[in-house]
Amino acid sequence: MIERYTLPEMGRIWSDAHKYEVWCRVEVEVLAAHAAAGTVPADCVEPVRNAVPPTAKAVDDIEQVTQHDVIAFLSAWADNTTPREAAAYVHFGMTSSDLLDTALAVVLTEATDEILAKTDKLIGILRDHGLEHRDAIKVGRTHGIHAEPDTWGHRVADITFALARSRDRLKAARESVGVVAISGAVGTYSNIDPAIETQVADSLGLKPAPVSTQVIIRDGISEWVNALAIIATVLEAFALEVRHGQRTEVRELQEPFGKGQKGSSAMPHKKNPIISERLAGLARLVRGYMTPVMEGIPLWHERDISHSSVERIALPDASIAVDYMLHIATRLASGLIVNRDRMRENLESSGGLIYTSAVLLELVEAGLSREDSYALVQGAAMETWNSGTPFRETLRAAADAAGQKLDEQRLDEVCDPARYVERLAPTFDRLAKLV
């Protein structure tokens, strides 16, 4: 991922320096387990543990010759080991993927924890924002057309619960990727005791894979990327609400706009929803990684490396992008400007058409058939659309023409937007308890 969208801590997690630190840690844990079992000399552990991880350049220089990154790493690290002979038992009984998949599990769980922390923070901000605006009356829209009264807090609650479910999916995916395999060339433990694998997993705070070939099958990693993609897409759903709400014709919402910020190089008046649009663009990118990662599940026989090149790009990019998206979505939610007055203006702009459903049901309850009620209400509504005459007036005229008497007091009650707020009370009770 380019530096523009990489936050420092997530960048550190996916850096080459940290990768080699984790590789060293895994190899030391395997070596220590062997030494405890009496498989290798006990005095070789501390020299290896004390050897500094090799630099990315040192590994790269050797890899230019070996064309094998693990061998290059082992050679470069041996060069840092004193005495060098102590490095002879490093990687004992292991195959490359034992190191690669186990170290990847460590990095994936670290990246997941960073994302989960940001997700928890954003959920709390959205929850509080939704509760604050539980009575911010706005028009609900279906197909982009005014439908019935709603509240901004209700829309935020929907997104907040979706994000909470997405967080829980990522927690489950963390369990799926947090597994290690120290099982040898085709996963049969031919040159290594299964007890070594269990001990290493315990030391890393992970679990042994229930089975592996040379690699751990990629269903767990696919689940992880899919969980990230869902988080990204829920953030895009929030962004889409803001983008629509900031349109000049709507003006119900506005992104934070800082002092000195500029919206356009040509038009000084512009305030553009750039955070929301950035979220939308990055969500497309994260979703795009789902298919290539899933295609790493079917590999030839016990292993090929067609998944490797994909994962070297997709896994850091997806997690770095989602980490950044959560960061800017938090900024968006924290500074979002809600224009309640404009929401009310838009609500009333259709002349009361948003109450046709309530009026229809009221007429049915008064004894008129549904078919006749629908025809009467729709006729009045179409007249309002065409003439701009308020709906209550066109409804009254239509009722008089049909010989129907309207209960004006009852219509006042069903056309009061406050009752929509009251009906949403259970939703906000659930939102208040969300953690």
Please identify which of the residues 264, 309, 349, 387 carries the catalytic annotation: 264
Contacts of residue 402, Cβ cutoff 8 Å, sequence gap at least 6: 372, 376
Contacts of residue 210, Cβ cutoff 8 Å, sequence gap at least 6: 179
Task: Render 208-253 in DSSP notation, one character per residue.
Answer: E-S--SSS--THHHHHHHHHHHHHHHHHHHHHHHHHHHTSTTT-SE
Q: Which letter, b or e, does each residue of 127-155 get, where b requires 16 or more Cβ atoms within 10 Å of its Cβ?
A: bbbbbebbbbbbbeeeeeeeebbbbbbbb
- Is 264 designated active site? yes
Q: Cβ(383)–Cβ(398) under 8 Å?
A: yes
* Rounded distance between C-alpha atoms, residue 211 and residue 228, angstroms: 25
Q: What angle do CA 41, 45, 48 make, to 5 degrees?
A: 130
* Rounded distance between C-alpha atoms, residue 237 and residue 165, angstroms: 14
Q: Of 238, 229, 103, whose CA–CA distance to 173 is shortest?
A: 229
SS3 14: coil
- Is 143 designated active site? yes
CA 5 to chain centre: 15
Neighbouring CB atoms inside 10 A of 26's CB total 26
* Rounded distance between C-alpha atoms, residue 80 and residue 21, angstroms: 13
Q: Which residues are bridge partners to 145 per DSSP?
A: 142
Paired tokens of 310: 């994909």
Please identify which of the residues 15, 68, 129, 143 carries the catalytic annotation: 143
Paired tokens of 181: 């395999």
* Rounded distance between C-alpha atoms, residue 277 and residue 296, angstroms: 31
* Rounded distance between C-alpha atoms, residue 28 and residue 50, angstroms: 10
Q: Of 136, 125, 124, whose CA–CA distance to 338 is shortest?
A: 136
Contacts of residue 255, Cβ cutoff 8 Å, sequence gap at least 6: 242, 246, 271, 273, 274, 275, 276, 332, 335, 336, 337
* Residue appearing with tokens 């901000």: 125
Catalytic positions: 143, 264
